[in-house]
Structure 1
Amino acid sequence: MTDLILTYSVHLVLVLLLQIRVQADSSLDNSVKQLLSTSRYNKDRKPDSFSYVNVQVDIYDMAKTEAKNAEFTLELYLRMWWKDARLQYSNYSSLGNVSKLEIPEVNTAQIWQPDLYFLTDRKPEIHDRSIANRIIYIYRNGSIVYSERTSLTLRSSLDLTFYPYDQQMCLVELQSFAYTNDSLILNWHDSNPVKISGAKMAEYLISVGEYGHGDKPPLEQIGIYSTLRASIMLKRTGHAHFYQLYGPSFAVVFVSWLALFLDEKKVSPRLTVHTGCVIALTTQWIGIYFLLPAVSYIRAIDIWMITHLLLVVFAFLANILSLMARRDDRKNEIDKRKDSGGCEENFLKH
């Protein structure tokens, strides 16, 4: 009987706690709805006549690189901080113990947001599964934190002079689309506004270069826009190219010169080896050109391939010269035999 009473009491307490929790959540939802009600809050109007927005970019992955198109795709978190005094809730009794409100993605459209965009982004994309990956936090004093997960495809002005030991710079620029610097100013957040959190690739070492802010007038007749700039440095390691490029090309040159030590009588195998080496290097060079964009200057890899191709051609010419010299020696030997044979006949006649 005691166990039954105890079990009933526990169930009753759990039901009461659940009911209190449901009532609290319901009260919280009603307060949020009242806070964001269109009768008191206009999401299409800026909070103040002049606003500051702090921005942070956290890069967590480098999805892919396309050297042919000079494109690099980054996965990142974009975070923004601003203040909207209209969303203060310190006078709401139902929210007295709540330090911040979490606004899910389905309700973020009810809140005014800075219309930032990346000037250097070629394929803007917000990550979404069933809903987009974004969230907003509202604090008691009206401070707002916005966070979203997005992809950024940057185009770099590639300098392949020292390829495959080159270093590229990708410029990241953020700007408001509609608000000039008379009404909205962008600033980087804290002293470390651009972070790289675990973004790694086998071919590149990723680091943050210089960052700052300034003004950029895309349309001078409209106004000047506050702009944030940061550079992402991509340093190619070149280790993979040692096995895929340097090793094979060196082996081809070695084989081409090794063929010179074949028997001089085996003319056809020697020519076949040298011809095959020239074709192998040429094919490898063409493959490199398919991977890289066309440029008007000489790259380090071009000097490497030209040097090795010339070494193979020199080996081929050395083979030809040795065969010609051997043919001349045979001809001279035959002529000497003929001359010695003629002298013997004349001696016999006398």
Structure 2
Amino acid sequence: MLYPNGTVWVNYRVRVKGPCIMDLSNFPMDVQTCNLIYESFNYNNQEVRMRWINSNPVYAVSEILLPDFILINITATRRMEKYPAGMWDELHVNLTFERRCIWYFMQAYVPTYLTIFISWVSFSLGPRAIPARTMLGVNALLAMIFQFGNIMRNLPRVSYIKAIDIWMLVSMTFIFSSLIELAIIGSKVKDMENSQRPKKPHCKN
């Protein structure tokens, strides 16, 4: 639409599928910001000027329901980018998402906590119940390793440590420490039994 003062009104409806670079260091309690940029392809700001129509130009028509994220904020800004061919106006839309972490708590944090608690039950069995304590500790460690592998299989591969990695490694350290304690106690009990065993008398000819 062309107005008498030279203003051109152009209306487009587009469906965009854009990439979003995520930082998963705090996964699964992370907050992600995705950036969408609008700019003219052929014309710099000497020919086309772009600006938002008002102070709140971007909004969601209806509540957006995503399985893994909650849309918590939408911000719109205007910037000017310098290219070799001149200056271009850019309209930025920042979409801030917060991850729904209840699934990860139920599938990762609660089971690992219970596994650690089960491994600590062996402390109440007494120092002489070595077979039962060994079975509890080894089974708890194997269950933790299986849970860790199952969780990591469903996550994106990144080269840095995530919060859930630290949780799982610390959890396995607790269970492994209980096995170390079991080995130390078993050695002490064996030494105590050997010291209390009556010595055979030596026969002199």
TM-score (norm: length of structure 1): 0.51
Q: 1:161 aligns with which of 25, 28, 32?
A: 25
Write the distance in 2 (CA, Å) between the matches of 1:228 and 1:259: 62
Q: Deviations over 1:45-92 (max 9, x none)?
A: xxxxxxxxxxxxxxxxxxxxxxxxxxxxxxxxxxxxxx4249xxxxxx
Corresponding position of 1:199:
64
Structural mapping, 1:1-350, within 5 Å = 83-85=1-3, 144=9, 146-156=11-21, 158-196=22-60, 197-217=62-82, 219-220=83-84, 222-262=85-125, 266-290=129-153, 291-296=155-160, 298-334=161-197, 337-338=198-199, 342=201
Contact conserved, 1:278 with 1:312, CA < 8 A, in 2? Answer: yes
Q: Deviations over 1:272-317 (max 9, x none)?
A: 3322222222333334444033133x43323322221111011111
| Structure showing greater relative contact order (alpha-carbon pairs closer than 8 Å, 6 or more residues apart) | 2
Residue 229 (structure 1) shift: 0.8
Q: Kindly indicate which of the two structures has a greater share of residues assigned to strand.
A: 1
Query: Percent same amino acid at aligned positions?
Result: 21
Write the distance in 1 (CA, Å) between the matches of 2:20 and 2:149: 24
Q: Deviations over 1:20-68 (max 9, x none)?
A: xxxxxxxxxxxxxxxxxxxxxxxxxxxxxxxxxxxxxxxxxxxxxxxxx
Contact conserved, 1:194 with 1:208, CA < 8 A, in 2? Answer: no
SS in 2 for 1:154: coil
Contact conserved, 1:172 with 1:230, CA < 8 A, in 2? Answer: yes
SS in 1 for 2:199: helix
Which ranges of structure 2 fall in alignment gaps of 5 or more residues? none
Q: 1:178 is matched by which residue type in structure 2? A: N
Residue 142 (structure 1) shift: 8.8
Write the distance in 1 (CA, Å) between the matches of 2:126 and 2:136: 13
Write the distance in 2 (CA, Å) between the matches of 1:167 and 1:270: 42
Q: 1:177 is matched by which residue type in structure 2? A: F
Residue 233 (structure 1) shift: 0.5
**Greater Rg, structure 1 or structure 2?**
1
Number of residue pairs matched? 201
Root-mean-square deviation over aligned CA pairs: 2.8
Write the distance in 2 (CA, Å) between the matches of 1:261 and 1:322: 13
